[in-house]
Structure 1
Amino acid sequence: MDNALFVAWYSPHQRQWGPVGKLERTPTGYRFFYTRGAKTLAGFRPFPGMEDLDTVYESDELFPLFANRLLAPSRPEYEAFLRWGGFDPHHPPDPIAVLGVTEGRRVTDTVEVFPCPTPDAEGRYVTKFFLHGLRWMAPAAWARVLELKPEEPLALMLDFMNRYDPYAVAVRTCDELGRMLLGYVPRYLARDIRQVCLRCAPDFISVTVERVNPDAPLRQRLLCRFSACWPPGFQPCQGEEFQPLTDLPQLTPANCEAALSTARAG
C-alpha cells in the first residue's frame, strides 16, 4: 500500500529503533494498528488514546499523534517546510506523503514514521530521503553540502564496522580529489538499501542530490534520491516485527471520535 507508513520507536533499553505500528490512508480516512514489534521492543508503551495493542483504530481525521507532526499552514515557515521536502507549496500533498519524507520527527519524543518501499511504474526501487547524521560531521561537510547541485551524483559505502548500526550505509561525495563523508542513509532504509546494493549491478544503482535547502535545519538540509533495480524475490518490511498484532478487518467506513477525543486530552 503506497498510502501507508510504519511507526518506529526508539528503545533506550536496547538502544535501537524498531517498528511498533502502522498508519494507513483508507478510502474513508485513516486507520492505525500495532505491529508485533510493540511487544518485543523493550520499554514500549502504547500511544495516548490508543492504549489497546489489539485494537484497529479507524478515523475520518488524521490521528493527533501524527497530525501534530505536521507544520500548521498558518505558520510562516509552512511553505519553506514543504519546499524542503520537494513538494509544491501551491499544491499541498496528502499528509501521508509529507510525513513519509519528513519522518514526522519531533524533539519531544522518540517516534518516527517511514514508508515501506514499493516498486515504481518501471519496477525499480526508488526513494527519497533526508541525509541523516550531518550534525555529527565536521563543519567542512556542512559547507560541502551547500555546494552540491541538483542531480549531482553521490556515492554509498557499506559501513560494516559501525558500532551503532550493523546495517549502516554512509553517503559521500564523488569528488576526484577528496571524497568527503557527508552522513548516512536513514536507519529505516539502511537494511533494505544494503540488500539492494549487494544484489544489483553497480550500473543500476544511483544516489543523487534531489535538493539542497540552505535555510533548513541540518536534518532537512540535503534531500537525496536513491534508484536501483528491484531484485527478484526482494520483499522489504517483511520481518516479524512488521506484522500486525491482530487480524485486520476489511476497509469500511468507520468513526473514531472517542479515540480522537481521548488522544487530544492526553
Structure 2
Amino acid sequence: MSVKDGKDYLYLIWKSERTRKQYIVGQLTKNGQYEFRYGGEVRSAVDDGFQPLLCFPDLDKVYESNRLFTIFTSRLPDRKRKNIREILNKYDLDEYDDFMLLKRSGARLPIDNLEFIDPILDFDRNVTRIFYMAGVRHYLGCDGKHCAHAVEITRGDEVFLRREPDNQYDADAVQFLDASGKVLGYIPRYYSKGVTELLKLKKQITCHIYNVDRNKNCNECLKVIMEVMN
C-alpha cells in the first residue's frame, strides 16, 4: 500500500485528448474517513482542457466523507454482480473492498480519460507495480498502425531502465530498453519521479513484460511488472 503519515493514498490521473499527456490531477486518501483534493498538476491540466469533476467544483477545497465518494464507487462493478467473485479473484481480493478495488483496478471507464493509480511514496519498502509502458508507438516500428511490423516482444522478457535527465518534457523521464539496448518506451509520467528516486537510491529494480496485446490501442499494447527489492 502507498501509506504516508498514516494515510493510504491513490492518485487520480487525467489524460489529455489533445496532447495525450497524463496529469496527476488529484489525490484520494483513506484514514478513518475519505478525503479528496485536487493537486499535483491540476492547473496545468486545466490549461490543457481538464474540467473539475461535477461533485468537486472547487480546485482549492478538501472534500471529506465517511464513505467512499459515490462519484468513485460508481466506477466500480456492482458488488451484487453474478461474476463478482471472478472480478475479486482477478484483483487478488478475498472480499469486496471498494477502496482496494479502486486501487487495484484503476477504475477506468470508456466514457472519460480518468484512472486511479497506486503511487510510489515509500522508498524503503518492497514495491510491485503493474502498468502500461508509455510511448511505445514511437519506438516499436509500427507507426501506431501496423502491429504485425512491431518489434517482437513476448511475455516474460526482461526490460531495463535508463534515466533520461535531459528529456525536454520530463527531467525525471526513465526509458525502457530491451536486452540489446533498444529503446521500447518510457515509465509513465505519473511514476517517473518515484522511479527516478529509486534509481538514485540504487535500489534493486527488475522489470519484465507482463502482457503483450496487439489488439489493444497503441497506448496499451505492452504491460510491465516492476518489482523493487530492499
TM above 0.5, one fold? Answer: yes
Higher RCO structure, 1 or 2 (CA under 8 Å, sep 6+): 1
What SS does the corresponding residue of 1:145 show, helix, strand or coil?
coil
**Residue 154 of structure 2 contacts residue 209 of structure 2 at CA under 8 Å; is this kept in 1?**
no
Unpaired runs of 5+ residues, structure 2, are: none
Q: Note the C-alpha offset of 1:153.
A: 4.0
Measure, in 1, the Cα distance between the counterparts of 2:63 and 2:24: 17
Q: TM-score of the superposition, structure 1-length normalised?
A: 0.60
One-letter identity of the residue aligned with 2:52: P
- For the pair 1:144 / 2:153, whether they are aligned, the reply is yes
Q: Report the Cα offset of residue 155 of structure 1.
A: 0.9
Q: Deviations over 1:99-157 (max 9, x none)?
A: 3344333332222322332337xx246241213238623447685233x2xxx643112
The aligned length equals: 212
2:153 is paired with a residue whose SS is helix
CA distance in 2, matches of 1:75, 1:205: 42
Q: Distance in 2 between matches of 1:222 and 1:106?
A: 18
Give the TM-score of the pair, scaled to structure 2: 0.67
Q: Counterparts of 1:170 and 1:210 in 2: how far apart (Å)?
A: 14
Bigger CA radius of gyration: 1
Report which of the two has the higher share of strand. Answer: 2
After superposition, the CA RMSD in angstroms is 3.9
CA–CA distance in 2 between the matches of 1:188 and 1:75? Answer: 34
Kindly indicate whether residue 186 of structure 2 is the aligned counterpart of residue 184 of structure 1.
yes
Whole-angstrom CA distance in 2 between matches of 1:54 and 1:13: 25
Secondary structure, aligned partner of 1:144: coil
Tell me, yes or no, if the aligned pair for 2:24 and 2:190 is still in contact at 8 Å. Answer: no
How many angstroms apart in 1 are the aligned matches of 2:12 and 2:128?
18
Describe the shift of the 1:64–1:224 C-alpha distance in structure 2 as closer, same or farther (beyond 3 A): same
Equivalent residues in 2 for 1:90-169 (5 A)? 91-92=94-95, 94-119=97-122, 123-124=124-125, 126-133=127-134, 136=137, 137=140, 138=142, 139=147, 144-146=153-155, 148=156, 153-159=158-164, 165-169=170-174
Q: Which runs of 5+ in 1 are unaligned?
A: 230-266
Residue 66 of structure 1 pairs with residue 72 of structure 2: yes
The separation in 2 between residues aligned to 1:80 and 1:134, in whole angstroms, is 29
Are 2:9 and 1:4 aligned?
A: yes
Matches within 5 A, 1:185-200: 185-197=187-199, 199-200=200-201
Identity between Structure 1 and Structure 2 (%): 23
Structure with the higher helix share, 1 or 2: 1
